[in-house]
Structures are given as structure tokens and as C-alpha cells.
A and B are shown apart, each in its own frame.
Chain A
Amino acid sequence: MSATVGSALSIQHVGKIYMSREGWTEALDDCSLDIRAGEFSVLVGPSGCGKTTLLNIVAGFDNLTKGQVSLDRQVIAATGTALQPGPDRLVVFQHGGLFPWMTVIDNVCYGPTIQGKMSASEARDVALNMLTGVGLSDIENMFPGDLSGGMRRRVEIIRALINRPKVLLMDEPFRALDALTKSVMHEFLLRLYDQEPYTIFFITHDLIEAIYLGDAVSVMTTRPGRIKCVVDIELARPGSHRELTTPKFLKYKAQITDAVHAEAVKAFVAGERELAR
């Protein structure tokens, strides 16, 4: 096993209250989650439960109202501190975050050059190497708009990984893809992860995806979001899609489905009540 590049991420008693037009909303309450260095951690939960809010807090896009987040025991987010997004916590966005006005190579090289970590030619070499390594050669001069959805996702992942982030944050990155592309993307991601175990914090509401990818799957409660339970997944990796039908897999699926379903029902009832008001 190669050396771990990622760091341990610790989310401690995080609370988040924000004000919207309807008034105060408690998005997160006493939300705690520990992710080991090099762990592939997946978070699932009913929609609107605060998964993305939590990811945005970790990324430094949004502040928290209680608790703290630390990376390698260093506090990166706490109450009263300024937002500090950085290349140690990079996000692969749900709706894509590649810059459409930059070519693939410029997108990938943007981080290392803007941080002054690499010269333009150095970054170019590394980027081309990484792109070729994942079967994306000869597209470096194309614009993201000319690529397929799956290719764009792959380039975006490479754009993040070239910075060697301490944790890779993925916010439902494959949601918009068709089933076939999605399964190809899973294999792509696991292959990368197998080469170098980054710390990955992955959000989804696709439970099969969660069990297939994760070392551990955490279930979030309905709003205010809290971690309801963490299920360690003990399946051989790199897994094959065949495993999706093994009894062990199905047992995990049943367990997590039960947990999520209970929360989804609560969310549904709460929504009904809100509407009735």
C-alpha cells in the first residue's frame, strides 16, 4: 500500500443556523463525524437534510454557528473565524465547476500555477501526465463544453487531485450522469483511489453508489442534520459491479435503506406539516 496523501478530517459538534425568508432554519445540529486519513467516507441522507451545507462548511464556503472542523488536528473552521477555502480541501461540484472559458489543460494547471507551486511548463507536464494516466489524452486543448459529461467529471477530479488536497470533497458529483457513465466513473474513481488513498468525503443519495464506493457510509438525519449512524463497509476493493448482488452487499443495503427511509419519512411528514401551516 502506498503512503497516504490525505489527512484525517474531524467534524466536531457542528451546528448551523441560517436565516432565510421564512425565518431561522436549523440546518445542522451537533453533527459529528470522524474520517480517518485515507478513508473513503460517504454521507447519505434524505434531500434537504444538510449534506451540502456540511460539505460547504468543510470547504470553507460557509460558516458554522457551533462546533469546529479540523484537518490533521488543525482547526480549519470554527465559530467567529473567517472563511478560508483552500487547495487542501477541493470540491468536485454537483453541477460541475470547470471553467468553460479555459481549455482542459488550463483548467487543470490553474491551481498549481496560481498558487505558485509549479511553473507553467512544469504544471503542463504534470497535468498531461495525469490526464494521459487516466485515458484522457488529446483533449487538453478542448474546452469543457466540447466534452461529454463523464469526461468533464474526470477532468474536474484531475483538476482537484493535481493539487494533492488533504481531503477531496465530492458533492453528488455523478448525479447528472446516466447509469452506464456513472458505473464507469465509479471504476475510474476507485482506480485513482487505489493508486493513492486520498481522503474522500463523498455525498450522494444513491445508496448503491454509497456502499459500492465507501469504506464507511454515514447516514444523516433529516433537518437539523446530525449523523445518525456510521456503517463500516467490509467489501473487497477494488470491487466489481458483480458484488452489487452478493448477500453481504444486500445486507448493507437493507441496513442503510432502513436508516435513510426512516429519515425520509420524517422529512416528508415535517414537510407536510410545514405546508399545512
Chain B
Amino acid sequence: MAKVAHSRLATARHGAGTTSYSVPAILAVGQLRTAGAQLLAVVFLILVWWFVSTLPSAIHIPSPAEAARSAVQLEPDVFLKDALLSTWRVTFGFIIAAVIAIPLGVTIGYSPLVRDLIFFPIELFRPIPPIAWIPLAILFFPGAEWMIVFLTFYGAFFPIVYNTVVGVSGIRSNYIRAAKSLGASEWTIFWDVVLPAALPTIFTGLYIAISVAWLMVVAGEMIANQGGIGAMTWQAYQTTQYPRIFVGMAAIGVLGYLSSLAVRLIARIIVRWE
């Protein structure tokens, strides 16, 4: 494919005497086009926002320009502190969730006995939306900090468990049979076959979990009002600094996107074969 494109371009080059292209250059053009389309989408989104802000509403909705002005007026170190605090809470809850949920999911997926013992209670908890845990979490945890971390942990926990179970129990029997024939013991099979075979699915779980963790951190912070982007957004509402709500929301969006990106990058490094 690349070869054909190459030679055709080469003819074009000799024929018309234009600038020379190479395969990397074509790729770069492709990337540029993608970036351009993405930029266009963002511009379109801002235009929609602006349009909505001109509509009559109960309370005036701030326009993009007003939000931008309010963003500039923010004290950078206060904002940064809030952003870091939220990121820290998400990371902390997410990591605890991963550390508990992955081994749990692997054992549930691998052992029918453990599945029968543990999976059913987990199934019972799953339909309860994580936000419904807020009152109980406030009662249980002495400080807001632990309450918020618990909520992010809880939100991240289920997607990771479920995907790990699916990844481990869905493993093709050929792989286990091949490993057994080749002389691997039960324990080696677990490390060399079961775990790597499940990794792509586990990462799907992590990818979903990180967004749920952001969802939960914002909810927790809005209730607790102890710093973080969620609290900042809620305070903006309470103190009628409406443009700032948009700043908070945009910040949550960007941070959420960046952390998903981080998970995807780690996945690409670890799951090299996909």
C-alpha cells in the first residue's frame, strides 16, 4: 500500500516538479488533518455555548468570553492547589481500587469456588449507584478527606473487578492447554498465561474506572466543601460567581481527559502486543 502511494507520488514529483513527499510526510499530513478536525469540533462547541448563553434563561448563563475573563482572574496558586488536590484524591482512590480489585477479579475469574463465595455479594452491591453511598460515607469516615477517597475508590472498584473477571474467565482454553503441554505448572500458567491474556480487558476496566473516579471526586468534593475542583465549582455557584462554574467544569473535563490519556499510555506500554 505504502509502496504504491510512494511510487505514484514519485511520478507526480517528476512530472510536475513540485515539492517532494515521503511516507512520513503523508503520515504527518494525516495527523494534521486529525488535529484540525478536533480543533474545529472544539470551536463548534464554544459556538454552541455562546449561542445558548444568548438565549433567555432564568439566570443569565455566562458566555465563553465571560468564563475566559473569570479564568484569568483566578489566583493561579489557589486554582493549582485545588486541581492537584482533586487529582491526588482520584489517583489515591483509583490506585487502592486497582490494588484490591485486580487480584480479587483474578481470583473470582480463576476459581469457581471463590466466584460462588464472593461474586454474588458483589453483584448485590453493584446496582447501588456510588453516589448513594455519600450519606453513609459521611457518617462512617471521621474526616472529609477519607470520605472523598472512599467514594473515588468505590466508584473505580466495580469496573475494574468486572473487567478483570471477564478477562480471566474468557481466556481461550488453547492457551492454557498449550502451556500445560509445554510443561508449565499451574502456578506458572497463572503468571505466564492467565494474567497476560487478561491484561487487555483489565486495562479496559481501568480506563472506565478512572472516569468514574473523577465523577465521584467531584460529587464528594461538592458535598464536603473541603477544597478541590468540585468544591471550587460549587462555591462559585453559592457565591454567584457564575462564570467560574464553567472554569471549574472545564478544568474537570481537561483533568479527566488527561488521566484517561495517562491510563491509555500505560496500557500501550504494558500491553505491547495489541
Contact = CB atoms under 8 A, between A and B. Distances in A.
Interface in B189-223: 192-193, 196-197, 199
Contact of A91 (B181, B196, B273, B274): B181
B111 interface: no
The size class of the interface chain B forms with chain A is 20 to 34
Greatest chain B CB density within 10 A among A101, A102, A110 is at A101
Interface stretch (A27-35, A82-90, A128-136, A236-244): A82-90
A60 B193 contact: no
A97 B273 contact: no
Interface string A78-113: 000000011101110101111111100000001100
B182 A90 contact: yes
Contacts of B197: 99-101
Greatest chain A CB density within 10 A among B177, B178, B184, B199 is at B178
B54 interface: no
A200 interface: no
A143 interface: yes
B12 to A, nearest CB: 31
Greatest chain B CB density within 10 A among A96, A97, A143 is at A97
Given A101-B196, A101-B197, A143-B272, A96 B174 contact: yes
A42 interface: no
B183 interface: yes
A122 to B, nearest CB: 16
B188 interface: yes
A86 B183 CA distance: 6
Contacts of B273: 100-102, 143-145
B180 interface: yes
B175 interface: yes
Nearest to B274: A145
Contacts, number: 68
The size class of the interface chain A forms with chain B is 20 to 34
Given A97-B175, A99-B175, A101-B273, A163 B182 contact: yes
A114 B182 contact: yes
Contacts of B174: 93, 95-97
Interface in B222-259: none
Contacts of A85: 177, 180-181
A91 B178 contact: yes
B55 to A, nearest CB: 51
Contacts of B272: 143
A205 to B, nearest CB: 19
A59 interface: yes
B184 A114 contact: yes
29 contacts: A61-B177, A85-B177, A86-B183, A87-B181, A87-B183, A90-B181, A91-B177, A91-B181, A97-B174, A97-B175, A98-B178, A99-B175, A99-B178, A99-B197, A100-B274, A101-B197, A101-B271, A101-B273, A102-B196, A110-B179, A110-B182, A110-B192, A111-B182, A114-B182, A114-B184, A114-B192, A115-B183, A143-B273, A145-B274
Which 5 residue pairs spanning A and B have beta carbons closest together? A101-B196, A115-B183, A111-B182, A97-B178, A143-B273
Interface of A: 59-61, 85-87, 89-91, 93, 95-102, 110-111, 114-115, 143-145, 159, 163
Given A87-B181, A99-B179, A100-B274, 9 more contacts: A85-B181, A86-B181, A89-B181, A97-B177, A99-B192, A101-B273, A110-B192, A114-B183, A145-B274
